[in-house]
Structure 1
């Protein structure tokens, strides 16, 4: 697929700088060159999706942003401050939280304990209580299972718990890694509807998703990642209509 990346190096005069700004990111797993000069922007209030085949580097991108992987070179700025190389807990404190691939809930802990751990950086008890109520409003099944061990939840309920746990840190930018993985079609629709609601309530979202059709249907903008490089970027509706994208990722 021909490269058509259109990431700007600076905002236009008078325009607000991106909430998340990544430039020339190089990441290795040992001798494997996983990300090769990756650059992307996420503006405040957007849903931006990153699509691509398995092994393209999508999860690596999120793990590097979250501080779980250290880049060899390149820059990552969140709200104008460099976070490249910062510890994961410091990045959560800065206002960025990730829902990891595979949920990674604490299976032996209860639903309530998982949610409380999501608020570990906070000490505002009233705010935590309000956000807990917000999570229960968004995911009513979690309230019904507060004292249940998280590992006994269904796959869909575990995804809801992972999202609720991340929201308890009150992130300004939420990273979502494959939220539809292993879920039935009706649950996928429900999860994506909740993602849209979270965004409309004021949380900016960077979404990695194998289900490219669903991702492009809710995103404002999109990037296509191939073997560690961004090859296409633009409005999600434009990419959804692209013949190259349809053939490669949308089954068209």
Structure 2
């Protein structure tokens, strides 16, 4: 479904990604693991069109999307839930969700998707008339995910969904990620909590200093000494 081929990405003169290649197959959950500043968020931003690669290519369902405008990429079926949630604080929950469907014209199906999101996140239904800025961190994360689902993505890019959340909420968010995947949405997940990420993923890539240094099935990486030492707290 997604093929990233040897991309180089720069911020000014600083090279953030160095020849990164990976692939995501239809229906999978693939996770990217790595320390802060390793280039994981940069990779998601490049896939979703917020950054342009200097070298290499990105193929989505066989078509190159490298350097295309972000809205074009959303139209093609890729949604990005950014790190830090980026919800619209002065708009209601419902208005935030409506914005997720901004590019769509199919009113009836949009209504069905509202119902789907509220089914996934009952808390958002209870708070639908509330300003998004008044929600708790966990609720804002639910809203950010819900908003991206309103675009009906076939591929969902999730950046640090558990960041700053209480352990119980982290479990809830990951259960929902699995549920979204079971509905047929493919997921590329960036997550600091390597343990949780590997527990839901089919495959994983480890990124260090802008390079992919390791890849394999989630089980292989879970069992790898290198991964255990660096990302799973040694146990």
TM-score when scaled to structure 2? 0.99
Say if 2:125 is the partner of 1:143: yes
SS in 1 for 2:162: coil
Could you tell me how far 1:56 is from its partner in structure 2? 0.3
Alignment gaps of 5+ in structure 2? none
Q: C-alpha root-mean-square deviation of aligned residues, in Å?
A: 0.4
Give the whole-Å Cα distance in 2 for the aligned partners of 1:89 and 1:106: 18
Say if 2:18 is the partner of 1:33: no
Say if 2:97 is the partner of 1:115: yes
Give the whole-Å Cα distance in 2 for the aligned partners of 1:236 and 1:146: 37
The equivalent residue for 2:154 is 172
Structure 1 segments of 4+ aligned residues over 2 angstroms from their partners: none
Say if 2:31 is the partner of 1:23: no
Could you tell me how far 1:205 is from its partner in structure 2? 0.1
The equivalent residue for 1:238 is 220
Say if 2:143 is the partner of 1:161: yes
Post-superposition CA distance 1:95-152 (Å, at most 9, x none) = 0000000000000000000000000010001100000000000000101111100000
Post-superposition CA distance 1:195-249 (Å, at most 9, x none) = 0000011000000000000000000000000000000000011101101100000
TM-score when scaled to structure 1? 0.92
Give the whole-Å Cα distance in 1 for the aligned partners of 2:198 and 2:18: 24
Give the whole-Å Cα distance in 1 for the aligned partners of 2:122 and 2:180: 15
Give the whole-Å Cα distance in 1 for the aligned partners of 2:36 and 2:141: 20
Say if 2:74 is the partner of 1:74: no
Instruction: Count how many residue pairs are aligned between Structure 1 and Structure 2.
Output: 234
5 Å-filtered alignment, 1:101-112, equals: 101-112=83-94
Say if 2:37 is the partner of 1:55: yes
The equivalent residue for 1:134 is 116
Alignment gaps of 5+ in structure 1? 1-18
Give the whole-Å Cα distance in 2 for the aligned partners of 1:237 and 1:192: 17
Give the whole-Å Cα distance in 1 for the aligned partners of 2:134 and 2:226: 42
